[in-house]
Amino acid sequence: MSVRMTKPWIDLTEENVARLPGQTGVFQIGDAAGEVVANGYAGGRSRFGLRSEIGERLAALEAGHRFRYEVTTQYLSRFSELENIASGRIKPA
């Protein structure tokens, strides 16, 4: 059974990214309207976990984006689940 990510959106700013944990997990990047524009994950090879992976997205995007994240050691399974929901291959619960 798949579940959409329901965490609240956080503004994608340097200050908010600096507060992120250096742990593995998954994240979503959204536009100002709250529509998901990208899914991503921080795996075991991510230098500073979620902080570095989301920080790289911050450097590549213009202002107005948001993000949300989940800390999980099962990041590849969860990432795959989020990608399948986004593509419509599976329906969220």
* CATH number of the domain within which 18 lies: 3.40.1440
**Taking the CA of residue 25 as centre, how many other CA atoms within 13 Å lie in the half-sphere pointing to its CB?**
19
Number of structural domains found in the chain: 1
| Whether the predicted pLDDT of 41 surpasses 50 | yes
High-pLDDT (> 70) share of the chain, %? 95
Does residue 5 sit within a domain?
no
Print the domain residue range for 74.
Answer: 10-87
1 falls in which pLDDT band (50, 70, 90)?
very low
Does residue 59 sit within a domain?
yes
Helix (H) or strand (E) holding 40: strand 36-42
20-34 average pLDDT score: 94
pLDDT tens digit string along 42-74? Answer: 999 999 999 999 999 998 988 899 999 999 999
93 falls in which pLDDT band (50, 70, 90)?
low
The reported pTM is: 0.90
